[in-house]
Structure 1
Amino acid sequence: MEKMTIVFNKMGNTIDIWFDDPKKEFICEETGEEIILKKDKKGKIIGLERLNVLPKRKLEEAELPMEFIVK
């Protein structure tokens, strides 16, 4: 993996985390826990989407409670 891409969609209140090129997305699978797995043609997970990331009251502030750790 060369890089990871993280995209926060304020309007949809979702966050996408990509481990590979999003253009390779072929099919999605819902886990039932507000997480959608994004897969390529071979069934390999190349990303995920987290639904309802922030409570509605925090959406207007648009601040993500995130911490990045690089090792």
Structure 2
Amino acid sequence: MAALKIYFDAEAKTLTVWFDNPENEFIAEETGQEVILIKDKDGKVIGFERLHYEMASIDDLTIEAVAI
């Protein structure tokens, strides 16, 4: 199982979440809701990017893992 990767870019104001290896990115599809879906060559969503995402600092980001 791939590790979940979360990147926050304060300058670009983006939050990117990867469910798979970022090197597998083949195409990115904008949803029109300031969210970009990142897909592999088979069309499977392997991540997403949230545009215009702002936080005062990286210390404001908390991660909660919940198994359902």
Query: Kindly, what percent of the aligned residue pairs are identical?
Result: 44
2:57 equivalent in structure 1: 62
Given that 2:37 and 2:49 are in contact with CA atoms closer than 8 Å, whether structure 1 keeps it comes out as yes
SS of aligned partner of 1:2: coil
TM-score by length of 1: 0.80
- Kindly tell me the number of residue pairs found equivalent between the two proteins: 66
Distance, in Å, in 2 between the alignment partners of 1:67 and 1:21 is 20
Give the Å deviation of 1:65.
Answer: 4.5
Structure 1 portions without partners, runs of 5+: none
Given that 2:2 and 2:21 are in contact with CA atoms closer than 8 Å, whether structure 1 keeps it comes out as no
Distance, in Å, in 2 between the alignment partners of 1:65 and 1:7 is 11
Given that 2:35 and 2:50 are in contact with CA atoms closer than 8 Å, whether structure 1 keeps it comes out as yes
Give the Å deviation of 1:62.
Answer: 1.9
2:24 equivalent in structure 1: 24
After the TM superposition, which parts of structure 1 deviate over 6 Å for at least 4 consecutive aligned residues? none
Gap change, CA 1:67 and 1:21, over 3 Å in 2: closer
TM-score by length of 2: 0.83
